[in-house]
Amino acid sequence: MIIALDGPAASGKGTIARRLAAHFRLPHLDTGLLYRAVGAKALAEHVNFEDVAALERLAGALDPAALDPESLKAGAIGEAASRVAALPGVRAKLLTVQQDFAHQPGGAVLDGRDIGTVIAPQAEVKIFVTATPEARAARRHAELVGRGEAVTFEQVLADIAKRDERDSGRASAPLLRADDAEILDNTHLGVEESWQAALAIVARRQGLGGAR
């Protein structure tokens, strides 16, 4: 069974993905980490974000087995990730590793922006996780403050709005709900309720004979 979760920043898709993976004993890939790793490398090596060829080289040289989620979750890296993710050449370099992960025997859980539309259009379960920008900003703000970052709610909200616009507006694999994805709007749901709602969607899809 392939479970595809897509949605905007801080909607809680990663939280659900991790729990679904543990519940169904499936491997999980947070695909945002791949773009974050390219963005982080570009920042660290002072690569000009207009230098498309250099960014594509960084994406091509990425070792997906050597990602450090803890450091990659820093606020500034999300913005850099979204910039490099708009480049078709960067996306192309990261395509195979994601498709191979999705199609491993037994299935997988992947979360990102284009899993249900581009990486695994044939996924048996597709969930589009979303919430209002304010709810998402509150979550991300709490997360970043918890990491020790000095950032205001307004800054996080502005960053999320900018990223939403860039991720949805780009020509290459934009953030889009697949036609056959179920929407999970968890604006008014806590982590536990959001998880239960996701589980109910999977059960429904399995009942429809979609999940193997």
Ligand X SMILES: Nc1ncnc2c1ncn2[C@@H]1O[C@H](COP(=O)(O)OP(=O)(O)O)[C@@H](O)[C@H]1O
Extended strands (E) in the chain: 2-6, 28-30, 108-112, 125-130, 182-185
The answer on whether 112 is annotated among ligand-binding residues is no
Contact yes or no for 110/196 (Cβ under 8 A): no
For residue 133, give every residue at least 6 positions away whose Cβ sits within 8 Å of its Cβ, in sequence order, or none: 157, 160, 161, 164
Task: Pick the closer one to ligand CDP by CB: 91 or 205.
Answer: 91
Per partner kind, with CB cut-offs from 5 to 8 A, the member of ligand CDP, ligand X, none near residue 163 is ligand CDP
CB of residue 204 vs ligand CDP: minimum separation in angstroms? Answer: 24
Which residues here bind ligand X, judged by CB under 6 A? 7, 9-15, 139-140, 143, 186, 189-191, 194
Alpha-carbon distances, residue 21 vs 14, 26, 35, 111, 134 (angstroms): 10, 5, 21, 11, 28
The answer on whether 121 is annotated among ligand-binding residues is no
Residue 56 makes contact with ligand CDP by CB under 6 A: no
CB of residue 31 vs ligand X: minimum separation in angstroms? Answer: 10
Contacts to ligand CDP by CB under 6 A: 9-10, 31-32, 35-36, 78, 81-82, 85, 112-114, 163, 167
